[in-house]
Every structure is written in structure tokens, then in C-alpha cells.
Structure 1
Amino acid sequence: MSTSRQPKWRRKMAPVSRWLPGVARLATMLLLVSAVIFVSLRVAAPFLVSTGMVRSGIEDALSRWTGYKAEIKGSPGLEFWPTPRITLNQITIRQPPNAGNKLLGTIESLSADFSLIDALRGRASFHEFHLLRPNLSLTRDQQGLIDWTYAGQLAKAIDGAHQDGNAELLDPKLDAEVGAITVEDGTFNIADLSTAKTYHFDGVTADINWPRLSSGMSAVLIARTSGQDLKIDFSSRTPLLVFDGKTAEIKASLTSGLMTAAFSGLGSISRLDGLSGNVTANIADVPALLAWSGKSIPGTESLKSFSISSDVISAANGLRFNNVTLGLNGSTASGVMDVSNVRNNRAKLGGTLAFDTMNLKPFFDAFALRLAAGEEGATPDGGPLQRLDLDLRFSAKEMQLQPFALSNVGASIIVSSNEAKFDIGDSQFEGGEMSAHLEATRGDFDGGGKLQMSIRGADFGALVERLQLKGPLPLTTGSLDVSLKTAKPLWTTGLEDLNGQVVFQAGAGSIANFDVEAIRNQAAQQRFFPLNAAGDHSFPFTRAELTANLSAGSADLENVRVQGTVETLSLSGLIPLQSSGLALSGSLQATDDTRAAELPLLPFFIGGSWPNPVISPVPVVAQPAPNAQ
């Protein structure tokens, strides 16, 4: 019987302890041999590897990739530690002479890692490329694609890649190793054939990770154009399909000091069908972006900020935006929108948006901006904006149109090639209701327009107090109807260009700081006096009505009658709209004819300026009594 107390598991592990030292010795020997071979190759490499062979190999590689002829003028430099690497200077890439000798670009310096084993075998394979100060000229064709038709490896791979669902398939014969590519201080010039413009990018820095042509790619690019720094992040599992303009998986973002934008989903760089994903954009300063792009339009300064986040999908003849979150000058809305193509190469933006709170002025400015895009000479070219139609419906719980405030608003904007309308169909205004209609004349919308507004049952007294308006104004609940026209474009119209009529009607109320008893007393004593010297009592009335005709920069009051319980005030005359001056004639007389002797007719003239006009009594010439028969 054994007396050993060693655990059974330790007895079972004992054979391992016998062979483990042998394995360790063998591994150590292999590592030492590998290290000796590695160091030996590095030491002997300068004597074994032909500089000319590596140089010609990279020339061939550049020519094979681009389809152009690569010429290297500078002397190459080889490094073998820590990895074999070649550096080439003064590189020119151009078409072969028999193909036109077109210059693609120049590279001040190009360095790349190469396989030492392949080099010892007389072959050259490269990876990890670094381009210093490349100056490249590219062409963007009519379809929006970079012209890769140079018969090079990249062009052949792009042309040969085909789609299987959302996957990218490539013939192995067209596949090749790419590796990492970095660009430092480059210059790119892109000639856009569709716009006949050339876009210049300098200070280009790029970091591209693309293991093989058949694999996914990620890239980060930083550049400066027109004085603005841009950063572009791009990634796709099917880059060859993307470069060929096919619908493929894309994740891209743009960051600059003027705006940020991002898209993630399925899309194409040349067309919109098949689009599906999420898009976001944020513009902190709209006027600055317009000015940078050369599209600054005067009169739109209130359009400060804009943002959108939405799911987007291709629909019939356009795009559908769902789950939209829209921001404008700090106001936020949610809803749906769509962009569709209509006849005559026009696009139409439609949708329904719901705001909690919003400022209406930017929408008016956007409305005027869209109309101004069609005017020749007075504003910069509107470009795509001129070909954009609008059909937007929106609602708001609270809406600001300084200095006014509306609530529970339903409104719409409609702009097409032959009509332009802005409507507030329903809203609550100062305890009453308001509706409005703004319309621009057809054509280029530069022939004028009209405004119609109707207010019913609003508390104008509360409005006067809230706005802290000065002068003798009616404090009452009433109705206001406005009908105005202009022959000038809406975005250039001033008060002097308006023609039309304003009608105001009210029930019981009072006129602040209009003391009729003090006015009569002053009129009996002085030839003229300021209104504020005639007491500070109010003038109560039971009914008030006003009709004013606007023309040539003045308001002609033709029917102003304020009926009090004791006296009635009547006014007529002109009010220049661009100044605070007054030129009115008025009168006070007894409301009840039976009190005419007690309160005789008091005519007067109102001049001076608002809010404290001057009253000049007009003597009443007694009419001679008729001759007795």
C-alpha cells in the first residue's frame, strides 16, 4: 500500500513538468534564430537591394494605379530600420504623350514601406504611403463623379466592382493591397464640369485606411477653401461602389466653422434614388454661410441659425423626410417634409411642421429671400433657390411677430413659378382673432404685391399698455381691417410705397390723455396750446370708427368719429407715415343736439408732432340770420 499523500491531480500533472522545459528551450532557440535572421537582413539589405529596382518599382506602381505615367526626378532614399522604406522626390504624373500628355499632378515627396523579402526576390510591393505636398488636378463630370477613366488599377476596380445586395464583389484579378495613405500639406483643384467652376483646396491633410480594394475604407480629410477650414470624415464597407455612383453604405460628416452636417445610411454621390438613412445639419450663422458661398442677400439678417435632424428616404420623384426636428433661430419644430421634382427642372419643398414657440419674422424674411431670388440685377443670383417651390403648412402654440404675439396659429407658405402666398388662416391675437394674407404679383414677383389682414375682438387697450405706446390712443376692444398694395417688390417696399385702406371700429372705451373739458377751456383762452397742457383726463366713448387711405407716403384720415356720451370727436387730414408730424382738422360737438347751446361746435387744427401735438382753435364765423319776409 502506498503511503504517498501527494494529491492525485498533482500526480497527473507531473508529466507536463517534464516536457515543458524542452518546449521553452525550443521556442527560445527559434526566437533567437529569427532575431539573427532579422538583424542580418537589415544589415545586409543595403548591399542586397537595388535602389534602382525599388525606384522603378514604385514608378510602375504609381503608373499602374493611376493609368498615367509617373516620372521621378529626385534621387531616392532608402531606409531599412525599423522597417524598409523608400522616399522619392519631385514626382510628376501625367498622361502618356500619345494620350494627350495631360498633367494629373505633382508630388514633392512620396515615401512608402516595401517588402524586403519581395525586394530580395527582385519584385517590389509597397504599402503605408505618405505624400508630402501633392498638387493634384481632378475633374468632376456631369454626373457628379470624379473622372477615374485613366485605365489604371483604381479605375478598373471601380468599373469592375458589382453589387450583390448591400455587399461589394470584386474579381480577385482586379483586387490589390492598398494599406494606409497619409497626405500632408496638399493642394487639390477640382474642375466641376456641371457648373463650369473650379474648386481650390489647400492645406490638405488626409489619413486614409484602406487595407485592400475589396475591403472597407475610412478616411479623414482636413482642408481649407475660400478661407474656411473643413473637416470631412468618411467611411464605407463598399467604397468602390460609392466611387462608381452606385447606392451603397455611406457614413460621412462635414465640420467647419460655419456648419456641421452628417449622413449615415444608404446613398449615392451622383443620384438620390435608393437613399435611406439619417441626416443632420446645423448652421450657426446663416448670413455668414451665404456670404462665404457668395450668395449673401440683403434683408435676411434675421435668419441667424438653422438646424435639422431627420430620417430620409427616397420617394416618388424626390425625398421624404420623417421624424423631422427643425430649428430656426432657437425655435424648434417637429413634423414631416418632402422634396419632389416638378416640371421645368424645378424642385418643390412641402411639409407640415408644428412649433411650440416660434418667431415669424425669419419666415417672412425667408419668404422674401425666395422671391428676391427671381429678381434680376437688384440681388445676387438665387441659383437653386430660384428654382425652388414651397408648400409648407405649420402651426404654433406661441408665435412672435415683434412687437406682436399670437397664439394657436395655423399658417402656410406657398411659392411656385406663378404664385407666392403667405397665409395666417387662424390665430388668437390680444384676446381676439386674426387672419392675414400676403401675396406677391406673378412673374418674377418683382411687380408688387398685396396684404390683407383682419382682426376681430382684440383688446387694443391691453396692446397699447403692453407696448408702452405714448399719446392719445384708444383703449378699447375692437376690430381692424387692413388692405394694402404696392407696385414695388415686397423686399424693397417702404411705407411710402404703400397704397390701400385701414378701417378701425370699436365699441366702448376711452382715449387716454384727451381731456375734452380742459381742451374747451384752453381754446377759450389761447390761440394754440400743446395737448399735454389741457389736462390728463381720458375721453370715454361708446363707439369709435376710423377710415384711413394710404397713398404717396401719407395716411388720409377721411372718416374718424369717436362718439362719447356727452361729446363727439371728429378728425380728418393727413399723417405723413415717415415722420411724426400731423396735419389734421378736428372738432368737438355735443353728441345730443339738444345740448348744442351748452356745448357749441369747437373746430380746431392739430399740428406739431406725435405724441404731444399742438391744438389751434379755429374761430367759428357766425352765419347771418336769414332776412325776414
Structure 2
Amino acid sequence: MPSRTARRTIWIIAGVAILLFAMVSAIPFVASTQIVRNRISHELSEWSGYRVVLRGAPRIQVWPAFEAHLQDVAFLEWGATDAPPILQADRIEIDLSAIAALRGDIAFSDISVLRPVLRVRSSPDGMMLPAAPGGSRMVRAIDTARALVDANPAQPDVSLMPSDTFGTIEFADGRVLLVEAGEEREIISSITGRAAWPALNRSGTLVANAVWRGEPLTVDISAQQPLALFGGGNSRITASLTSAPLTGSFEGLTTLSKSGFVDGTVKLTSPSLRRALEWSKTDIQPGAAVGSASISGRLIGDSLRMKIEDAQLAFGGHPGNGLLEFSLANGIPAVSGTLAFQSFDAYSFISAFTRLPGDGARWSDEMDVAFTRQVNLDLRLSAASAVVGPLTMTDVAATAQVKDGLAAFDISDATVFGGTLQTGFRVDTRSDHNGTELRMLASDIDMQGAAGAMGSKLPMPKGKGTLSIALKGPKSRWDQLAQTLSGTISLKFGPGSLQGLDLAAFVARAEKGGFFALNEVPTGVIPFESAEFRAAVSEGMARLELAKATLPEKTVSFTGIIPYVGHGLALSGLISSRESAAPKQAPASFFVGGSWDAPFVSPIMRTMPIE
């Protein structure tokens, strides 16, 4: 027989088992009568600040875990009886404390929300937020944190922060609806993730996947002191965004009070700047697809003005560095700064703002100048080398300015084909201007090399030349731009030569009479001491004001028109002897017509007898 001590132990164990069984058996009854009906909605309201309504019948599960399953839960704004719920969910599952349940209380730390729907509205400052909650534990905790921050903004006493247990919230298949003018529009869908915040005075994390503007994305945020952050203080933040159009990360201090403040390391990368701008749906309409773009550096500033120091960026495959500043004036994004590149593609840079022919635009399209009122830009650029279409320049200094309907892209200094280049292109959409302007001064450059690089088939003299262009006209279609521009073009040469024509053979052939093609004349070289060309341009035509070449013994000059839109020619030429030449011949005139590619010549006529 068992001893008395053994029997006493058996009775104690049996008693404890019976007590535990009674407690477990009592849980469903207690939970169903005291917790579900009287406490869960109250506790959820205490935390959220909204009126919580359990529209479905709750169900309590005891084994293997003590849980409450709530169906059709609605979080309503106090006093707004006819308004739709701020937040509603098909089902909410809550892990409950069995001990608290037996006391008639509720304590939970883990919540799972299925198919939640959050309704937000646009605030005056552009934020999309739900209606403000009433008094709640969270609001009171934030107020306490704000008081501690106000008492010592630099180093609030974290030990005095509320330490209420919060827990983990998991959510699946959620949506966010924007309410405007009584209509609801879905702005975020397929939201699934997890927010973990063990206690209000500890760190918290948020990881979520969603679909925004048709693109799947993942956000991952970790805050060292979330409550201090909500109370207007500082907290170290680590955040990342991953999506197909844009990937970004930030790590540093953040403040949410007033206009906010950030100071940390940022990095943004996009495989296509155009796609990222389209996804952002800002007022900035992107131009051509310029390829990948990335930027990283130290981000400092608030929501009104920020700057990236020690910026490392790559634009269209061209890396650079410098300083960038961003601001939002009158709702228009403004970007300014100084950037230095090892190499730079000016065509791709301009294509980022407006579609150029060949990059998504046709020559028959209107010039897209909407960007002149969508962004303010003030950039100073430098590059060891830069390309503009087929031209390669070195030691480049340039500026790009866009503001209030005016866009100006200028190269203030560059070295090209052995000389220097200054050029600028302006688009002015203001009502009293509404036009385009092109200016260029290329000094002492290898004109033959420049013409070859541009793909020109016209014969170009060999030698150093200076080209000056000043043209302007109304904004038009790309293919009509040449016809609408007016102004002047001038070209000056020092000593040089024109290859491809023998002047003596030309004169001999012309004196035979009859029209002939210029390519019938034997090739040769015509040396000259100087040459000068000046033309007035308008309506697709260049009218020669001066066209003269000074040869060792002769002078060749032209008058007439060059319809450059159709590549036509209508020129009268004159060959005369210089005063120093002996013997002298009477001036001889001739006519050149046809086209640039196939000019023809009429016979020479002597205008006066030989002296």
C-alpha cells in the first residue's frame, strides 16, 4: 500500500488537475460572456481611438491556442453614424491571455487581420490620412512622448516613455481607398505584411508587400524609437523600398514634427528614369527613355527643402558627383546644384525633359514644351568629355535652367575640333514670346572635321574657321522648325583650301558653253588666303549677304539664295582678278543651280574686256 505521504501527493496532483480542468472548462463560458461581448470591442477602441463594432458573431477557440475569431469588424469615427468605416475587416483573429480572461479582463499581443480596407482623405498639405481618432491609449502615449520631447528636444528622457505592451499585427489582402467628393477610389491593393512593436518604449518594424499604381512593391521600415518619432522627436530609421521602377533605401535620423527633418544616407536606383517618373505620376512628364539613373549621398533637410551632399549619381550610364538641392515652391518641384561628370550625353539629358525625334517622337510631332512649367531647374554641369549627337567635346562647362515657362540649355565653354564652342538653346512658352532660339559661336575649329562628324556631304574647306549662328522663331513641329527660324549665319576662314575642284578646269569647261554638272569638272585643290560667308535666314531660305573667297590671284564671290529646306541652289558666281594679279582678266560670271547633291553650272560670261 502507498504510504501516507504518497497518497497525499497523489491527492494534491489530482486536485491541481481538477482545478486546471475546471479553469480550462470555464474559459469558453467566461470568454463568451465577459470578454467577447463586453471587453474585446472596448479594448480595440481604447487602442485605436475609434468606435469598434463587431457585426458578426465572435467565436472562441481554446485549443491549441486561446484565440478570439471576430467576423466583419468595423472601426467607425465617433459621432459619424452615417459615414463608412474608417477601417473594416472581414475577419480578425486575436491571441488572448487565458489568465486575464479568467479575471474578466482581456490582454492580447498578436492580431491577424484578413482583408482590411482603410479609407483615407487628402489633407491640405497633400498627405493622405484617415480621419483623426478620438482619445485612445495610443494618442495619450503620443501626448506623453510629445511633452517629454518639448521638455528636452535634443535628448528626451526615454525612460519616462509609456511602456504599454503593443505586440504584433499581421495583415493580408488589404486595400486603401481614397475618398473624394463622395466617391471611393482604390490607391493601394494586395497589402500583406507584418508590424511588430513589442512595447511602446521599444523599437518597431514594418514589412509589407503591396501593389501601388500597378506595380508590386515591398517596404521594410525599422524605427529605433517609434513613440518618440510620433511625439515629434528624433529616431534612427532604416527604410527600404523595392519595386521594378525604383529601388531606394535610407538610414539615419528622422523627425516628423512640423515640416519634418531627415539626416542620413540615401540611395535611389531606377533602370529607367522615364518609367520611374511615369510611376510617380507627378506633373513632370518624362521625355525619352534615357536608361538607368541612380543617386546616393547624405540627405539633409525637411519636406520643403532638401539637399544631397557628396552626391554620387549616374545618368544614362554616365557617372558624376556633386551637390543637389530639392525644394517645393508653389507646388512645383525645384532642383538646383552643381554636378561634375567624367563623360556626359547632352542629348540624353535634354531627352529626359522632352521627347526628341527618334526617341519616341516623330518629326511631324509638335515640340513638347510642357516641362517648362512642370519643374524649376538650375544646374551647373561640367564634364571632362561630352557628346552632343555625333559631336564629342572636352573640358565642357554647361548650365540647364527651367522656370516659369522658359527653358535654357547652354554650353558656356567647350573644346571641339581644335577650337572652342559656345552654344545655347532656349524654349520660351510665355505668351509674349512663345518661341525657340538657337545661338552658337564655334571659334577656330576644324570645319572639315566638324562637317564630316555631322555627316554633311557638302564640300567644306580645309582649315580653321569661325562659325556664328543666331536663329529664333515660333515653336512649331520638329519638321517645320527649320522653316520657321530666322536670323543670321556667318562663317569666316583664314588660310585654307577647298578640295574636290580644279578652278582652271572649271573655267575652261564653262567657257565651252552649255549647261554641265559640277561633277564633270576634274577634281583638284583651290587654295585661298581667306573666305567669308554671311547669310540672312528666313522661311526656310538662306539669302547670301556676303560670300567671298580670296585666292592668291583671284577673288570668287557669290550672290543668291539657298533654299536649305529642299536642298536647292540658285546662285550667281563671279570670278575676278585681284588688283595685284598680272595679267588681269575680265570678271566672269556664271550660274549654279540644281541641288546640293547634284549642282549644275551655266556657261561663263565675260562682263568686261581684258585690261
- In which range does the TM-score fall when normalised by the shorter chain? 0.7 to 0.9
The equivalent of 1:353 in structure 2 is 339
Q: CA deviation at 1:476?
A: 1.6
Rounded to whole Å, the distance in 1 between the matches of 2:511 and 2:94 is 104
The equivalent of 1:277 in structure 2 is 264
Does the CA contact (< 8 Å) of 1:446 and 1:490 recur in 2? no
> Do structure 1's residue 620 and structure 2's residue 601 form an aligned pair?
no
The sequence identity of aligned pairs, in percent, is: 26
3-state secondary structure, aligned to 1:572: strand
Query: Structure 1 residues 236, 559: closer, same or farther in 2, change over 3 A?
Result: same
> Do structure 1's residue 205 and structure 2's residue 186 form an aligned pair?
no
Equivalent positions of 1:5-404 (< 5 A) are: 44=25, 49-56=30-37, 57-97=39-79, 101-143=83-125, 144=127, 146=129, 147-162=131-146, 163=149, 164=152, 165=154, 169=158, 175-190=163-178, 200-243=187-230, 246-269=233-256, 271-272=258-259, 274-294=261-281, 300-301=287-288, 303-314=290-301, 318-339=305-326, 349-365=335-351, 386=373, 389-404=376-391
Q: CA deviation at 1:107?
A: 0.5
Does the CA contact (< 8 Å) of 2:399 and 2:409 recur in 1? yes
The equivalent of 1:557 in structure 2 is 544
Aligned partner (choices 545, 550, 556) of residue 569 of structure 1: 556
Does the CA contact (< 8 Å) of 2:285 and 2:353 recur in 1? no
3-state secondary structure, aligned to 2:494: strand
Rounded to whole Å, the distance in 1 between the matches of 2:107 and 2:285 is 58
Rounded to whole Å, the distance in 1 between the matches of 2:405 and 2:486 is 23
Does the CA contact (< 8 Å) of 2:210 and 2:216 recur in 1? yes
3-state secondary structure, aligned to 1:300: coil
Which amino acid letter does the alignment assign opposite residue 211 of structure 1?
Answer: P
Bigger mean CA deviation after superposition, 545-554 or 55-64: 55-64
Query: Structure 1 residues 78, 581: closer, same or farther in 2, change over 3 A?
Result: farther
Equivalent positions of 1:522-541 (< 5 A) are: 522-525=509-512, 527-541=514-528
Which amino acid letter does the alignment assign opposite residue 125 of structure 1?
Answer: A
Query: Structure 1 residues 445, 40: closer, same or farther in 2, change over 3 A?
Result: farther
Query: Structure 1 residues 446, 306: closer, same or farther in 2, change over 3 A?
Result: farther
Rounded to whole Å, the distance in 2 between the matches of 1:96 and 1:311 is 44
Bigger mean CA deviation after superposition, 499-508 or 69-78: 69-78
Aligned partner (choices 375, 398, 410) of residue 423 of structure 1: 410
Aligned partner (choices 486, 498, 501) of residue 485 of structure 2: 498
Which amino acid letter does the alignment assign opposite residue 601 of structure 2?
Answer: S
3-state secondary structure, aligned to 2:227: helix
Q: CA deviation at 1:220?
A: 1.1
Query: Structure 1 residues 420, 380: closer, same or farther in 2, change over 3 A?
Result: closer
The equivalent of 2:499 in structure 1 is 512
3-state secondary structure, aligned to 1:59: helix
Q: CA deviation at 1:185?
A: 0.5
Bigger mean CA deviation after superposition, 583-592 or 303-312: 583-592
Q: TM-score, normalised by structure 2?
A: 0.82
Rounded to whole Å, the distance in 1 between the matches of 2:544 and 2:344 is 35
Does the CA contact (< 8 Å) of 1:111 and 1:130 recur in 2? yes
Query: Structure 1 residues 226, 63: closer, same or farther in 2, change over 3 A?
Result: same
Bigger mean CA deviation after superposition, 271-280 or 46-55: 46-55
Rounded to whole Å, the distance in 2 between the matches of 1:339 and 1:449 is 27
Rounded to whole Å, the distance in 1 between the matches of 2:184 and 2:488 is 50
Q: CA deviation at 1:589?
A: 4.2
Query: Structure 1 residues 305, 507: closer, same or farther in 2, change over 3 A?
Result: same
Bigger mean CA deviation after superposition, 197-206 or 325-334: 197-206
Which amino acid letter does the alignment assign opposite residue 484 of structure 2?
Answer: D
3-state secondary structure, aligned to 1:151: coil
Rounded to whole Å, the distance in 2 between the matches of 1:94 and 1:316 is 31
Does the CA contact (< 8 Å) of 1:449 and 1:490 recur in 2? no
Does the CA contact (< 8 Å) of 2:542 and 2:561 recur in 1? yes
Q: For each residue in 1:372-429, what CA deviation from the matched residue of structure 2 results, as whole angstroms up to 9, or x when unmatched? A: xxxxx996976xx847543332211111111212111222234445975443332211
Which segments of 5 or more consecutive residues in structure 1 lack a partner in the other structure?
1-28, 370-376
Q: CA deviation at 1:526?
A: 6.2
Q: For each residue in 1:563-588, what CA deviation from the matched residue of structure 2 results, as whole angstroms up to 9, or x when unmatched? A: 33355432333333333333333344
Q: CA deviation at 1:183?
A: 0.9
Q: For each residue in 1:297-326, what CA deviation from the matched residue of structure 2 results, as whole angstroms up to 9, or x when unmatched? A: 778216444321121223998434311112
Does the CA contact (< 8 Å) of 2:246 and 2:271 recur in 1? yes
Does the CA contact (< 8 Å) of 1:42 and 1:81 recur in 2? no
3-state secondary structure, aligned to 1:520: helix
Rounded to whole Å, the distance in 2 between the matches of 1:347 and 1:270 is 22
Which amino acid letter does the alignment assign opposite residue 615 of structure 1?
Answer: F
Which segments of 5 or more consecutive residues in structure 2 lack a partner in the other structure?
1-9, 356-365
Which amino acid letter does the alignment assign opposite residue 186 of structure 1?
Answer: G
Does the CA contact (< 8 Å) of 1:272 and 1:318 recur in 2? no
Rounded to whole Å, the distance in 2 between the matches of 1:89 and 1:207 is 20
Q: CA deviation at 1:189?
A: 1.9
Query: Structure 1 residues 299, 253: closer, same or farther in 2, change over 3 A?
Result: closer
Q: CA deviation at 1:186?
A: 0.5
Two-structure CA RMSD over aligned residues (Å): 3.9
Rounded to whole Å, the distance in 1 between the matches of 2:575 and 2:80 is 100
Query: Structure 1 residues 501, 51: closer, same or farther in 2, change over 3 A?
Result: same
Which amino acid letter does the alignment assign opposite residue 58 of structure 2?
Answer: P
Does the CA contact (< 8 Å) of 1:456 and 1:479 recur in 2? yes
Q: CA deviation at 1:491?
A: 9.1
Q: CA deviation at 1:167?
A: 5.2
Q: CA deviation at 1:212?
A: 1.8
Query: Structure 1 residues 168, 330: closer, same or farther in 2, change over 3 A?
Result: farther
Does the CA contact (< 8 Å) of 1:497 and 1:553 recur in 2? yes
Q: CA deviation at 1:137?
A: 0.6
> Do structure 1's residue 406 and structure 2's residue 393 form an aligned pair?
yes
Does the CA contact (< 8 Å) of 1:346 and 1:387 recur in 2? yes
Q: For each residue in 1:543-602, what CA deviation from the matched residue of structure 2 results, as whole angstroms up to 9, or x when unmatched? A: 2111121111222223112233355432333333333333333344445653444x8614
Q: CA deviation at 1:500?
A: 1.0
Q: CA deviation at 1:258?
A: 1.1
